[in-house]
Structure 1
Amino acid sequence: MRVLAAALITALAAAPALAAQPPLDMETIMADPDWIGPPVEDAYWSVDGSQVYYSLKHDGTPVRDLWRVAADGGTPERLDPAAVAKADGGKPVFDRDRRHAAFVHHGDILLRDLASGTTVQVTRSGAKERDPRFSLDGRLLTFRADNDWFAYAVAGGPVSQVADLEAKDDPEAKKSDGLTDDQQALFKTLRDLRSDEKAMAADADALSAADPGRAPKPFWLGKNVSIVDTSLSPDGRWMIVVTEAKDADKGKVADLTHYVTDSGYAEPEATRSYVGRKDPAPQSLRLLDLKTHASYDLDTKTLPGIGDDPLAEIRAKTVAALRKEGRKERADELAAPAKRPAIVNAEYSPGIVWSDDGREAAVQLRAIDNKDRWIATVDFDRHALVSQHRLTDKAWINWDGNDFGWLRDGRTLWYLSEESGYAQLYTRPLGGKATALTAGRFEVDHPVLSPDGSRFYVRTNKVAPYSYDIYAVPAKGGELARITHFEGLDDFTLSPDGSRLAVLHSSPYVPSQLATIGVDGSAPRELTDTRKPAYKAREWIAPKIVQVPSKHGAGTIWAKFYGPADAAAAASRPAVIFVHGAGYLQNVHLSYPSYFREQMFHNLLVQRGYVVLDMDYRASKGYGRDWRTAIYRQMGHPELDDLLDGKAWLVANHGVDPKRVGIYGGSYGGFMTLMALLRAPGEFAAGAALRPVTDWTSYNHEYTSNILNDPQLDPEAYKTSSPIHYAEALADPLLIEHGLIDDNVLASDSIRLYQRFIELHKTNFWMSLYPLERHGFVHADSWYDEYRRIDELFRERLEK
């Protein structure tokens, strides 16, 4: 089976041999990627499992067309608008007896009888309904629109709102002041009117209790809160409401300016606040009993460690420094809270999950300082949270690896955790001991439970850090068994009956393609090849995955090496080190890279006599917790050690001239290019920093505070990690390039550093600004101009 799957990949990746290929040029590789062919996106199964739907970008526009192909193979079909209207929606859910399925189609809920094939449109509205789910007995279908929840009787409607949530004070709960009491005592008519109001309210309550068809009574949550999220139990009995203070400080928001506009006038755009200027608002949990119309607070004070101060040592040092400077008021503001504020961890995980029978609910919470993550269940009798698992990290809890849910028994939790040093899969019965279903020096993600609950399917890089495939593991524990052998596994989804997998896979020069395969590894079928003929006909340089030894105690630094087929021919050649962006991202893998343009640029550089090294420096994804958190409070330092080790490896193993090594990258890669030139002057002959962070105090809170804490609390970490504080060391040629409407890393970052260079009387630095580009460039003209300038810099400085 491994040979067959590998042969399929080889056949897909192979390009027809040409007698002679025209040399690569900048116009071609930086053209609109339509010439390459679109990757397959958003694959999902039809409800009956016979077909797979997917999306492809339409040539010349950002529009995505919906396609369909038989799961057993055949000719893919692009659906016209009439066919799209009749297509199944993605992520169908099924009742326990598999009699009905429900799915979302263009924002509406549809219900299908699986025996007859009859489909009923449950909603037709401008609202975007989502999250359909059946009750355990299959009689009730619930779904939501924003934070409002609705129920539909499967036997035949109607749609009814299950709860009326009002972020207002209860008008009947107003406290009487003295004057009101006096008025009631003086005037019989006022007393009679008050009595009539109470009688009408009591009658309405009685009718509502006896008639489930009536609209629900409001839950008055209070005028001082905003509703963040809601979650309804499958049986419609309970609701958990997440709120935050309505007047929570939003912080000052930075603006950017659009200079090239339809109006002809410069136009401002609000973007975001800076790190430490708007901490996430603490959240509160409210449990609503929809049957008795009762409301209870779920206090986080029971969570273990919620009263700890993991930043006590840093806090004490900063407070002492402020007091020494006579800034007592500022020092007092940094006092540790008695109970750390927390939020529901819903951005990268479900946040709240219910057991199928609705008798158990689990909530994942995260401390705002991001040093702790808790999974707690709800005790419905005591109306309290019960901690089931605590993950704590002296650096920060990972953004990834927070999936969790319930086994089919509804009394056992499953979750991902980095507690071993690598993201692994665990189960834990309520109040019991955890069992590690996977273990080892590799990462596990995307766990999917089979329909019968007997096993999980996961994506993992067990074989090698750069190679990803699907494995299966029994839910009760057992062997982690490999199913696929694609090595470049991007995503997968399980068929409705649990017998097959729809897989998106790729290779270094083949964008994501669709295949199906049995869950036992049988009957693999390739269903698409979306590459265009001109791209498919080209022969590309296969990146060689290499291990660069660290001289700084980090072990192995994995990298991709681009060089000539004849290794000896690399002697005395110039070299370029490419630094990937995002920080926590893996670029050394066997899939199609996010940096496909850069990969083609590396081919062009090799064609002109260079060698190129692309490294997964420390903090890159895929290598475990210690690799991820090595940059805590010192961004740009361990990574620079790794990049310098990469340069030394090129010199020692490929005869590269140490005086002719350039460096470039975008976003975090741009930041690292600056750190390389400013903290190790003379090591690189030239650098190009694209959309770089130059001062971490002006980046966003969600990312930066995890790694460097708040700048008010930990100013030393920001000074240590920000290139602008090393500006006086600039000695090597530097090109800075930035989109002016970048709303991620604001162009002001580059402009502020440019001003520092001016004031320091530096030379050999340039800046190129792109008026119509955000963080990720989208216009081919801008891509061409950006890389033309990088190419010219390297030609001038590395080819002498």
Structure 2
Amino acid sequence: MFLKKKAIAIAVLSIVVAGGVQAQTKANELSVEKIMRDPKWIGTSPSNVFWSEDSRNIYFSWNPDGNRKDSLYVVGTDGKTIKKVTAATRRSLPSQFGAYNKSKSRKVFEKNGDIYLLDIKSGKTTRVTNTVERESNPGFTFDEQEITFIRDNNLYAWTIANGQLAQLTDFRRGRKPADGEEKDPQRVWLRKQQLELLQIVREREADKAAAKKQQLADAPSRPLEIYLDEKQVSSIVLSPDERFITYSLISRPRNAKITIVPDFVTSSGYTEDINTRTKVGDAQSTYEFFVYDTHKDTTFAVTLKDVEGIYDVPVYQLEQNKKASIAKDVADAKSKRAEMRASTIYGPYWSENGKHAIVVARAADNKDRWILALDPATGALDLLDRQHDDAWINGPGISYGAGDIGWMPDNESVWFHSEESGYSHLYAVNVRTGQKKALTSGKFEVSDVQLSKDKKHFYFTANKIHPGERHFYKMPVNGGEMVQLTTQPGAYEVQLSPDEKMLAYRYSYSNKPWELYLMENKKGAKPRQVTSSLTDEFKAYNWRDPEVISFKAEDGVDVYARLYQPENKKEKGPAVIFVHGAGYLQNAHKWWSSYFREYMFHNFLVDQGYTVLDIDYRGSAGYGRDVRTGIYQFMGGKDLSDHVDGAKLLVEKYNVDPKKIGIYGGSYGGFITLMAMFTEPDVFAAGAALRSVTDWAHYNHGYTSNILNTPQTDSLAYAKSSPIYYAEGLKGALLICHGMVDTNVHFQDVVRLTQRLIELGKDNWELAVYPIEDHGFTEPASWTDEYKRIYKLFEENLKDK
């Protein structure tokens, strides 16, 4: 009897233990519903990290309690005691943005539309303005006796010693009133008659003239009235000697047509229209750059008319001329145009000693970027560096505007980024001699550059070790050894303390979300982890560390990718290729991806037996100029063939069934998915195109015109690159998902493609719409519905029936 009871007890215990193991295993399992919940289930990483001005505290946004919104937290340099900042303390903190005096003992900043002056040593803050109007762009004058700022599009100066306020510009909206000098013959005759006949008219006209003369004598320093007509003024800059004020005028196009996006689910119950943007090739704003000489009380435009390349015709247009059977000598003769290319001038940027000024100019077609020395007295420009690309100018530190640029400690040279070597690197050029020097070099990219406080070193981020790692470096200001300060593989977002003794940084790895760390600013220093943000539920699953691999594309270029493989892979199993969005973005790296939901979904797919490949295709960031511009004039060309080559790799090396490969992605990834399903139907059995561009002629100007030029000047590039032209090629199963209030890639894109598929008689596709979602989904229910559909698509088309 005892043995029987013991046996029963052991059996019951076994059931309990087995049930516990089963329950734990089930708790660790992934599902679409679990992954796509509010991201707070993962834990909220710290963000928006900044230092106090005295280098004693680090502030950051965080949400360890899973509240509706993040709160501001603070921790000392020991990294031990984290405290939530009270609302009163938060409101009293100076803005993390602003301008410093030369010694960095004072800081001026804007907060809630008013200007404040901070004495850093004492911590005392002085309120400079207290108005209902917004003041912005504060700075110190060269002698540091005044603070300048912008109010109602005019420049003001506030004297620190006595609080006296002076208006330095007088920009006025509208047209300049008539100066009183009548030109019409009939009116001139009547005026002359009145003056000749009537004494009182002569006296009153004389009184007006005397009053105006007296007014000018009483206020001799009144700024020149500058009328803007219908233009907008921006970028108002005072020269160090306070003689010159430079500014830009923006002319908005009158005939540009704005696309309307209807919003159907509103609180009013009515459909409401959202004004969004123009389409590529529509009329664009134009820019002019002026100098106001306060000594001469005159203003004049600065022109690029004598700058090298300003009249050049883009290469693609010359090639079109040749293809049109124009003789070579004629085509060459037309390599220059009669009018200047539209362009924008940024700056000026003055040297710290106030003796030199430089500006950056960019052509509107973005094929040229010039760095020029400016003589403000004459408007003369001296070319220091011309960056030209037959495709388009971009890259880390270059971007779309002025780019990152600054003065070297000698006050005669400026540092800047250039892709001259094929990768974005640091250069310096002397404004007197024009001598240029490369400060960094190699097959890697440099970004986030800053000068040290003593101006003896540069600090920057670079992917020197591996394209998928971003480390923090210190280097002598004139070039030399790059000292790597961070060590663990992954990525670092570093904030250097004001005294430059400490580094506060966010760090992440492929399967570890961002956390905050502190470290002394020296090589070999041991970092201290400050935050621990992940929930127990998230940590319960063994998140995969995807292998970062590379393979040769059909043209011999190295293509990098993330590879996820099942532990017990079946013979000839299914695979999914993910296509990241944005085009110019990197995802085959060793840090926590901004596509974290997709990362989790890939773990889920691997659990279900799929192999997953995530490719940094041609056009992606992190790999230099040739990869960046590899899609010029043909999106859906090399970027798509890289995915076809990836599919081939899966079959030949990773034992994937060639008939069981799916593809999916959002935005640019959705576009590639459509191109894959339409033009490579024998490679991809199923595809999910999310918020996808279907016709590039309907996308925005700033992004698209760089890559494909404009529809009216390069129609072939648009026809080659737009999926809507290839829809007849669809064979496999296609899922299309799109938000109806997408203000980036408009819902109209998929509506037009839908009509095209209907007219072609295609029946192997479906469209899922999301009535309240913009380009980036926000609601967990939408994410869940979308990815359940994606998973169903793959299960039904890539798995054995």
TM-score, normalised relative to structure 2: 0.89
Aligned to 1:260: 265
Aligned to 2:542: 539
**Which deviates the most, 419-428 or 378-387?**
378-387
Q: How is 1:159-558 mapped onto 2 (pairs within 5 angstroms)?
A: 159-171=165-177, 173=179, 175-177=181-183, 178-179=185-186, 181-183=188-190, 185-186=192-193, 187=195, 189-209=200-220, 216-233=222-239, 236-245=242-251, 248-278=253-283, 280-310=284-314, 311-314=316-319, 316=321, 338-344=339-345, 351-398=347-394, 400-402=396-398, 403-431=404-432, 432-521=434-523, 522=525, 524-550=527-553, 552-558=554-560
**Residues 380, 498 of structure 1: alpha-carbon distance in 2 compared, 3 angstrom cutoff:** same
Instruction: Give 1:228 deviation, angstroms.
Output: 4.0
Matching residue's letter, 2:694: T
CA contact 2:735–2:790 (8 Å) conserved in 1: yes
Instruction: Please identify runs of 4+ aligned residues in structure 1 that moved more than 6 A.
Output: 58-62, 317-321
**Residues 98, 283 of structure 1: alpha-carbon distance in 2 compared, 3 angstrom cutoff:** closer
Instruction: Give 1:184 deviation, angstroms.
Output: 5.1
**Residues 264, 469 of structure 1: alpha-carbon distance in 2 compared, 3 angstrom cutoff:** same
Instruction: Identify which of 44, 48, 64 aligns with 1:42.
Output: 48
**Residues 292, 373 of structure 1: alpha-carbon distance in 2 compared, 3 angstrom cutoff:** same
**Residues 370, 770 of structure 1: alpha-carbon distance in 2 compared, 3 angstrom cutoff:** same
Q: Tell me the secondary structure at the aligned position of residue 452 of structure 1.
A: coil
Alpha-carbon distance between aligned partners in 2 of 1:61 and 1:147, rounded to the nearest angstrom: 40
**Residues 750, 579 of structure 1: alpha-carbon distance in 2 compared, 3 angstrom cutoff:** same
Aligned to 1:11: none
**Residues 400, 461 of structure 1: alpha-carbon distance in 2 compared, 3 angstrom cutoff:** closer
Aligned to 2:110: 104
Alpha-carbon distance between aligned partners in 1 of 2:387 and 2:521, rounded to the nearest angstrom: 32
CA contact 1:26–1:788 (8 Å) conserved in 2: yes
Instruction: Give 1:292 deviation, angstroms.
Output: 4.4
Q: Tell me the secondary structure at the aligned position of residue 456 of structure 1.
A: strand
Alpha-carbon distance between aligned partners in 2 of 1:415 and 1:173, rounded to the nearest angstrom: 47
**Residues 43, 226 of structure 1: alpha-carbon distance in 2 compared, 3 angstrom cutoff:** same
Alpha-carbon distance between aligned partners in 2 of 1:365 and 1:645, rounded to the nearest angstrom: 40
Q: How many residues align?
A: 756
**Residues 682, 312 of structure 1: alpha-carbon distance in 2 compared, 3 angstrom cutoff:** closer
Alpha-carbon distance between aligned partners in 2 of 1:622 and 1:174, rounded to the nearest angstrom: 62
Compare CA radii of gyration and give the structure with the larger one.
2
Q: Which structure's relative contact order is higher, taking Cα pairs within 8 Å and 6+ residues apart?
A: 1
Aligned to 1:705: 705
Alpha-carbon distance between aligned partners in 2 of 1:337 and 1:599, rounded to the nearest angstrom: 53
Matching residue's letter, 1:66: L
Deviations 1:190-232 (A, max 9, x none): 454444334333333333336xxxxx43431442533243233
CA contact 2:564–2:606 (8 Å) conserved in 1: yes
Matching residue's letter, 1:437: L
Alpha-carbon distance between aligned partners in 2 of 1:193 and 1:61, rounded to the nearest angstrom: 73
Please tell me the root mean square deviation across aligned C-alpha atoms, in Å: 2.5
Instruction: Identify which of 138, 143, 152 aligns with 2:158.
Output: 152
Matching residue's letter, 1:53: Y
Instruction: Give 1:114 deviation, angstroms.
Output: 3.2
Instruction: Give 1:170 deviation, angstroms.
Output: 3.7
Alpha-carbon distance between aligned partners in 2 of 1:204 and 1:37, rounded to the nearest angstrom: 67
Aligned to 2:788: 788
CA contact 1:183–1:190 (8 Å) conserved in 2: no
Instruction: Give 1:640 deviation, angstroms.
Output: 1.4
Deviations 1:77-98 (A, max 9, x none): 2222111112232035332234
Alpha-carbon distance between aligned partners in 2 of 1:174 and 1:674, rounded to the nearest angstrom: 65
Q: Tell me the secondary structure at the aligned position of residue 197 of structure 1.
A: helix
**Residues 136, 223 of structure 1: alpha-carbon distance in 2 compared, 3 angstrom cutoff:** closer
CA contact 1:167–1:227 (8 Å) conserved in 2: no
Matching residue's letter, 2:749: D
Alpha-carbon distance between aligned partners in 2 of 1:530 and 1:545, rounded to the nearest angstrom: 26
5+ residue gaps, structure 2, are: 1-22, 327-334, 399-403
Alpha-carbon distance between aligned partners in 1 of 2:624 and 2:87, rounded to the nearest angstrom: 46
Alpha-carbon distance between aligned partners in 2 of 1:121 and 1:739, rounded to the nearest angstrom: 46
Task: Report the identity percentage.
Answer: 39
Q: Tell me the secondary structure at the aligned position of residue 748 of structure 2.
A: helix
CA contact 1:260–1:771 (8 Å) conserved in 2: yes
Deviations 1:281-325 (A, max 9, x none): 22110111245432121112122110111143255369889xxxx
Instruction: Give 1:28 deviation, angstroms.
Output: 1.0
Q: Tell me the secondary structure at the aligned position of residue 656 of structure 2.
A: coil
Q: Tell me the secondary structure at the aligned position of residue 338 of structure 1.
A: coil
Alpha-carbon distance between aligned partners in 2 of 1:448 and 1:192, rounded to the nearest angstrom: 66
TM-score, normalised relative to structure 1: 0.90
Aligned: 1:723 with 2:723: yes
Instruction: Give 1:383 deviation, angstroms.
Output: 2.5
CA contact 2:395–2:424 (8 Å) conserved in 1: no
5+ residue gaps, structure 1, are: 1-17, 211-215, 322-333, 346-350
Instruction: Give 1:181 deviation, angstroms.
Output: 4.2
CA contact 1:302–1:387 (8 Å) conserved in 2: no
**Which deviates the most, 52-61 or 616-625?**
52-61
Q: How is 1:706-785 mapped onto 2 (pairs within 5 angstroms)?
A: 706-785=706-785
Instruction: Give 1:174 deviation, angstroms.
Output: 5.3
CA contact 1:489–1:503 (8 Å) conserved in 2: no
Instruction: Give 1:146 deviation, angstroms.
Output: 6.3
**Residues 727, 776 of structure 1: alpha-carbon distance in 2 compared, 3 angstrom cutoff:** same
Deviations 1:167-190 (A, max 9, x none): 444436454314554455441544
Q: Tell me the secondary structure at the aligned position of residue 73 of structure 1.
A: coil
Aligned to 1:125: 131
Alpha-carbon distance between aligned partners in 1 of 2:614 and 2:444, rounded to the nearest angstrom: 21
Aligned to 1:348: none
Instruction: Give 1:707 deviation, angstroms.
Output: 0.5
Alpha-carbon distance between aligned partners in 2 of 1:495 and 1:127, rounded to the nearest angstrom: 33
Instruction: Give 1:267 deviation, angstroms.
Output: 2.1
Instruction: Give 1:354 deviation, angstroms.
Output: 2.6
Instruction: Give 1:275 deviation, angstroms.
Output: 0.7
Alpha-carbon distance between aligned partners in 2 of 1:250 and 1:482, rounded to the nearest angstrom: 53
**Residues 510, 143 of structure 1: alpha-carbon distance in 2 compared, 3 angstrom cutoff:** farther
Q: Tell me the secondary structure at the aligned position of residue 274 of structure 1.
A: coil
CA contact 1:570–1:654 (8 Å) conserved in 2: no
**Residues 355, 516 of structure 1: alpha-carbon distance in 2 compared, 3 angstrom cutoff:** farther
**Residues 488, 218 of structure 1: alpha-carbon distance in 2 compared, 3 angstrom cutoff:** farther
Alpha-carbon distance between aligned partners in 2 of 1:434 and 1:423, rounded to the nearest angstrom: 15
Deviations 1:567-623 (A, max 9, x none): xx3542211000000000001112211100000000100111111000000000010
Instruction: Give 1:119 deviation, angstroms.
Output: 1.5
Q: How is 1:578-657 mapped onto 2 (pairs within 5 angstroms)?
A: 578-657=578-657
**Which deviates the most, 781-790 or 130-139?**
130-139
Instruction: Identify which of 72, 91, 96 aligns with 1:66.
Output: 72
Q: Tell me the secondary structure at the aligned position of residue 507 of structure 2.
A: strand
Matching residue's letter, 1:413: V
Alpha-carbon distance between aligned partners in 2 of 1:490 and 1:235, rounded to the nearest angstrom: 41
**Which deviates the most, 637-646 or 501-510?**
501-510
**Residues 757, 154 of structure 1: alpha-carbon distance in 2 compared, 3 angstrom cutoff:** same
Instruction: Give 1:658 deviation, angstroms.
Output: 1.0
Aligned to 1:6: none
